[in-house]
Structure 1
Amino acid sequence: MEAPIRTTILISGNGTNLQAVIDKVSAGQLPAKLIRVLSNRKDAFGLERAKRAGIPTLYHNLVKYKKQHPATPEGVQLAREEYDAELARLVLQDQPELVVCLGFMHVLSPKFLEPLAEAGVRIINLHPALPGAFNGANAIERAHAAWLEGKINKTGVMIHNVISEVDMGAPILVKEIPFIKGADDDVHAFEQKVHEVEWGTVIEGIDMVIKEINENKTRALGA
């Protein structure tokens, strides 16, 4: 029996996707060990969900770093890089094998990505859009508006590898969501529909990546 994969989850908000993962792990249906939930927002309810499940939490915010630099584009860039370098250090302290971004509203720079790549840690992200369609924030609302304008007839949800370009890493799992006239006219109802697809996609995507990590371990042992 393979040991559960040590997994860190990064969040910024309510944590409904996190809850889906917690539930599957505690039911023994996802071979992950959730070693920490980290948020860049202090009031993220996902931190409370983690505490209730007995998972260690951490709050790490960018504001402190911004205060140490002038409010110029260069200063902001420096602050973000320092924040990311410290984020990498904090995450790597726990020795995860997998980092999952679930609604983590912070663009990760090479200062975070490179140390994790060197440590052999996979980083994946959930994004509520089809590959290359609506990168960045508010993807569901932007897709819905495009549909109302007659520009598209479907959107979706994907799990993808994380690179420094926002939501541009190679897709691991993609689920299409066609728009249905009449049923999907209200954006809030449609958001809920997308979230429900996300909960299943998150579990399936993490499971796929865990299998890959285990296969690579087995290969490395056999080499």
Structure 2
Amino acid sequence: MDHITLITVLISGNGSNFQAIIDAIQSGELPAKIVRVISNRKDAYGLERAKNANIPSHYHNLVKYKKQHPATEKGIKQAREEYDKELARLILEDSPELVVCLGFMHVLSPAFLDPVKDANIKVINLHPALPGEFTGANAIERAHAAWLEGKIDRTGVMIHDVIAEVDLGVPILVKEIPFIKGVDEDISALKQRIHEVEWKAVVEGVGTAIQQLHLIKGHPLPENGTSSNDSRGRILDRPAP
């Protein structure tokens, strides 16, 4: 029997990329099961997507932790560390093998990453930029501005390992997206094109992460699903740095 990889998904918003993973699992493309989705925003539509797919969900917000500390640099740091420790505890309860961050608007600190790493759980993130470019928030907007200024001629999306340094973990999948003159001046058109690439890339990236876990943990590779297509270990369009 093929090994089924257990996944926890972290979201903050609409969850369209989350839906792409749900669909890929339901179709048999990904040999995985989502054990829980966790959102740091109560109104995230991704929670409704989880409900519709009968996936357990949890709302875990930073605000209540901030209220327990003074609004100083030290107090905010303490609040974030306590939040991250509790987030790690929640995830460890489900014993997943993979955590997938999809538009999760929270920087994960060592208070989260260390206990999760100690439990041999892989953490990956989808970021709408190429490796080393436009790290952090508003990556699409900043890339768009750079293109309008003639500084770049392409952007992209990547799936990468999560480390303490924001969006600087090793990429496991990269997809370049050239800018199109006469189209991408409208940033909404660019965002739509990027999102369409993301929906496919996130499935391929999760598939690659699953295969990496199979190799590390010695599970047999599935006879169908991710191992039956050419995405295994593949970087789209260009080699990772």
State the TM bucket, normalised to the shorter chain. over 0.9
Alignment of 1:10-25 (within 5 A): 10-25=10-25
Q: Given that residues 60 and 87 in structure 2 are in contact (C-alpha distance below 8 angstroms), is that contact kept between their aligned partners in structure 1?
A: yes
Percent sequence identity over aligned pairs: 67
* Cα-to-partner distance string for 1:131-158 (whole Å, 9 max, x where unaligned): 1100011101110111001010000000
In structure 2, the residue matched to 1:54 is: 54
* Cα-to-partner distance string for 1:179-204 (whole Å, 9 max, x where unaligned): 01112110011101000000111000
Paired AA for residue 128 in structure 1: P
In structure 2, the residue matched to 1:169 is: 169
In structure 1, the residue matched to 2:136 is: 136
The 2-side partners of 1:131 and 1:208 are apart by: 17
Paired AA for residue 175 in structure 1: K
Gaps of 5+ in 2: 221-241
Alignment of 1:185-204 (within 5 A): 185-204=185-204
Gaps of 5+ in 1: none
TM-score by length of 2: 0.90
In structure 2, the residue matched to 1:69 is: 69
In structure 2, the residue matched to 1:125 is: 125
Q: CA deviation at 1:2?
A: 2.1
In structure 1, the residue matched to 2:98 is: 98
In structure 2, the residue matched to 1:160 is: 160
Moved more, 157-166 or 211-220: 211-220
The residue matched to 2:203 in structure 1 has which SS? helix
Moved more, 210-219 or 175-184: 210-219
Between the two proteins, the alignment pairs up a number of residues equal to 220
* Cα-to-partner distance string for 1:97-145 (whole Å, 9 max, x where unaligned): 0000000000000000000000000000000000110001110111011
The 2-side partners of 1:18 and 1:37 are apart by: 9
RMSD, aligned α-carbons: 1.0
Q: Given that residues 3 and 219 in structure 2 are in contact (C-alpha distance below 8 angstroms), is that contact kept between their aligned partners in structure 1?
A: no
In structure 1, the residue matched to 2:227 is: none
* Cα-to-partner distance string for 1:146-172 (whole Å, 9 max, x where unaligned): 100101000000000000111010111
The 2-side partners of 1:175 and 1:216 are apart by: 25
Q: CA deviation at 1:219?
A: 7.4
The 2-side partners of 1:84 and 1:14 are apart by: 22
The residue matched to 2:218 in structure 1 has which SS? helix
